[in-house]
Structure 1
Amino acid sequence: MRKTLTKSSVLGIAASAVTMTFALTPLSAVAQADNYPAKPIHMIVGYPPSGATDIVARLVGAKMEKHLGQPIVIDNKPGGGSNIAASEAARAKPDGYTLFMATIAQAINPAVYSNLTYDTLKDFEPITQTMTSPSILVVNNDFPAKTVAELVEWAKAHPGELTLASSGAGGSPHLAAELFKLRTGVEYLHVPYKGAGPAMNDVLAGVVMGGFKTATAALPQIKAGMVRPLAVASAERLKDLPDVPTMQEAGIQDFQVASWNGLMVPKGTPQPIMDKITEAAIIALKDPEIVEQFESRAATVGGESPEEFRAFLEKQLSTWKEVADAANVRIN
């Protein structure tokens, strides 16, 4: 005898199916995590090989793969201020097999680029910050100023004549100079270059008077006496430069600028898999070899929780939007 399905019975079956789906989803995620990783993991880096971000990615990746038991392949996708890499990572399948080595660019770019195809917070889940390296205000050895106060005094006596180099428009050295302008009222001429190397070379040669440089990159030239540091944009003095004051000590309040990078994964990556990635990353960052390598480059090792990294990102996004808006820095 055929049984007729009533409307109420159909709705009941549908409700049961939905309930079963939600009940099975966590189990499915757990099962995925139990088998993770079952193949090589790709870490996307938005800069060329041998650069600072690439070096960090390879050091951390090599330690993580020992814990995870699968190779971590570094995929260098340079271009567009790292936006090409970020866009590709944001569109990747959220299964734990794509990691993204984010940098300060992911905090600055949303404020200066008008055509981004990703959202730093909405399209990614933060894992942990890997390292930070403060900026240093350096000048050519022939520049008359020996302190930040003297530089400000000189610049105000010669309006528009101060030239500061950067690694490119919209990058952290450029925004650091704009922040310096906001905090001091100093007018300067921005001289953008295609990379930190050419910018530093012209500071050394006296083509430009100075600029903000990441400690990691600037330390060798400073120690060699090839360029003069005026102040570090960190909360405390650097161990490698104990005689160089912080910006606050030099009289510039609320001025902390540091290049940083950190691991992120595409939004939607299952929590159990993210937990495994986070555990592997934090274990890697506690490795004595990593600590020694980073400290030798005037960098501080990260290892914060995902929640702490997210809070840091939110603050960075707010800070650099304020600076970019005030300075009217825009890139189409």
Structure 2
Amino acid sequence: MRSKFLPVAIACALLASVNAFAQEYPVANKTITFVLPYAAGGPTDKAARDLAQAMSKAMGGHSIVIDNSAGASGSIGANKVAKASADGYTLLFTHIAQATLPTFFRNLPYNVEKDFEYIGLVSENPMNLIGRPSLPANTMGELVTWIQANKGKINIANAGPGSASHLCGMLFQSTLKVDMTSVPYKGTAPAMTDLIGGQVDLMCDQTTTTIPQIEGKKVKSFAVTTPTRLTAVALKDSPTMQEAGLKDFSVTIWQGLYAPKGTPAAVLKKLNDALKVSVKDPEFIRKQEGGGATVIMDARNDPAGHKAFIVSELAKWAPVIRAGGIYAD
């Protein structure tokens, strides 16, 4: 006769195995991978690499590498993590697209709220409207005049549907009530290359990427997307969108860290503890602030606060995206 205590014994053995795994995590010879769903060289790539370095330090020098799995506006990389083993060694580092792709894509292969564990938000970046160096306009006022005079002829680059640059560009067009040709790329790095080369006219990008190009006089800066002006030297003469007459125009782009659903709670705690140490690391803070980013140090660093914020962002951006009428299958 089968013992009625056998299922209990099996459950206890499994629990002991999970606890042992969590205590050992991370195993010394097993690398942790941050999957970044965008091309190398962009602002989110930089933030991911900075965090990987800081978290490696916080975890006793454990190896953390970046896997750039770009494509489909970031959904390829995100899906890769959603379907990965829930062991804490494959994590997703992404930005605001985590709250916008569910509306952009009718058939997204994963569920943002159900298929991930939330580790914590890391930083947020203001954005900057920039233009090709040969653009005839030099100020925001001149740019608006030029746009109005060239309706139907202007194109604006972005990192793909649902990306931060796309959202900013959509908001810019809707505020001006002018349609522009959207030119999607697999990340803002290749988009920046074409902007510098004059193949596209405009782009919204995070200040972590725009500042070096502005300093090198490779692009023109027209405005920033924050409620107040930024202190970075390269942007000291750039007005806010609101100063330029675009009422209530404000966009900041946040980055966060996620694990596959089902990752053991003890593993998530170790990752969250390392993240909280990292966002207080002076070197990490210096690197983020050097590019105009703000390191997040509030309830959003916690898994519960992170998820609550994502839910609010999903509600915030869904109507904006639907009003634009741009969807992908």
Fold match by TM threshold 0.5: yes
Cα displacement string for residues 31-77 of structure 1 (whole angstroms, at most 9, x for unaligned residues) = 54333323523332223445443433333223323333443343333
Contact map agreement 1:166 1:192 (CA 8 A) in 2:
yes
Q: SS in structure 2 opposite 1:134?
A: strand
How far, CA to CA, are the matches of 1:138 and 1:292 in structure 2? Answer: 24
Q: CA deviation at 1:264?
A: 0.7
Q: Which has the larger radius of gyration?
A: 1
Change (3 A) 1:147 1:74: closer
2:267 paired residue number: 273
Distance 1:77 1:59 in 2: 18
Aligned to 2:192: 200
Residue 306 of structure 1 is matched in structure 2 by 303
The answer on whether the counterparts of 1:164 and 1:191 sit within 8 Å (CA) in structure 2 is: yes
Distance 2:171 2:263 in 1: 36
Q: For structure 1, list consecutive stretches of 5 or more residues without a partner in the other structure.
A: none
CA contact (8 A) 2:37 2:76 kept: yes
Q: Give SS of 1:229's match.
A: strand
2:108 maps to 1:116: yes
Contact 2:95–2:253 (CA under 8 A) maintained in structure 1: yes
- Amino acid paired to 1:60: L
Answer whether contact 1:128 1:302 (CA < 8 A) is retained.
Answer: no
Matched, 1:190 2:182: yes
- For residues 307 and 40 of structure 2, the distance between their equivalents in structure 1, rounded to whole angstroms, comes to 27
Distance of 2:77 and 2:200 partners within structure 1: 31
Give the structure 2 partner of residue 239 of structure 1: 231
Structure 2 CA distance, aligned partners of 1:150 and 1:285? 40
TM-score, with length taken from structure 2: 0.83
Instruction: State the distance in 1 between where 2:189 and 2:68 align.
Output: 19
1:44 to 17, 29, 35: 35
The AA in structure 2 aligned to 1:36 is Y
Question: How far apart are 1:136 and its partner, in Å?
Answer: 0.7
For 2:287, the equivalent position in structure 1 comes to 293
Q: Secondary structure of the residue that 1:234 maps to in structure 2?
A: coil
CA–CA distance in structure 2, aligned partners of residues 327 and 279 of structure 1: 40
3-state SS of 1:329 partner: coil
Q: Tell me if 1:67 matches 2:53.
A: no
- Give the direction of change, closer, same or farther, for the CA distance of 1:262–1:108 in structure 2 (3 Å limit): same
Alignment partner of 2:319 out of 319, 322, 325: 322
Moved more, 147-156 or 228-237: 147-156
Helix, strand or coil for the counterpart of 1:317?
helix
* TM-score (normalised: structure 1): 0.82
- Offset of residue 144 of structure 1: 4.4
Aligned residues: 321
| Identical pairs, percent | 37
- Identify unmatched segments of 5+ residues in structure 2: none
Is it true that 1:222 corresponds to 2:211 in the alignment?
no
The one-letter code sitting in structure 2 at the alignment partner of 1:311 is A
The C-alpha deviation readout for 1:283-310, integer Å capped at 9, x for no partner, is 1221111112222222222352223322
Contact 2:157 2:200 in 1 (8 A): yes
Q: Distance in 2 between matches of 1:173 and 1:62?
A: 26
* Runs of at least 4 residues off by over 6 Å: 16-28
Indicate if the aligned counterparts of 1:127 and 1:263 stay in contact, CA closer than 8 A: yes
Q: Which residue, 119, 129, 136 being the options, matches 1:137?
A: 129
1:250 equivalenced with 2:237 (yes/no): no
For residues 229 and 41 of structure 2, the distance between their equivalents in structure 1, rounded to whole angstroms, comes to 28
Q: Summarize the Cα distance change of 1:277–1:195 in structure 2 as closer, same or farther, 3 Å threshold.
A: closer
Shifted more, 98-107 versus 49-58: the winner is 49-58
Paired AA for residue 276 in structure 1: K
Secondary structure of the structure 1 residue equivalent to 2:191: helix
Moved more, 135-144 or 212-221: 135-144
Could you say which residue in structure 2 is the equivalent of 1:35? 24
Instruction: Write the deviation string for residues 182-206 of structure 1: whole angstroms up to 9, x where unpaired.
Output: 2231232323345434433443344
Closer, same or farther: CA 307–243 of 1 in aligned 2, 3 Å = farther
Q: In structure 2, do the counterparts of structure 1 residues 89 and 209 end up closer, same or farther at CA, with 3 Å as the change threshold? A: closer
Q: What secondary structure is seen at the aligned counterpart in 2 of 1:253?
A: coil
CA distance change for structure 1 residues 130 and 17 in 2, over 3 Å: closer, same or farther? Answer: same
* SS, match of residue 327 in structure 2: coil
Tell me the distance in 1 between the aligned counterparts of 2:183 and 2:138.
22
Q: Which amino acid aligns with 1:59?
A: D
What is the Cα deviation at residue 112 of structure 1? 1.5
**Is the Cα contact below 8 Å between 2:37 and 2:78 reproduced in 1?**
yes
- 1:309 & 1:216 partners in 2: Cα distance? 23
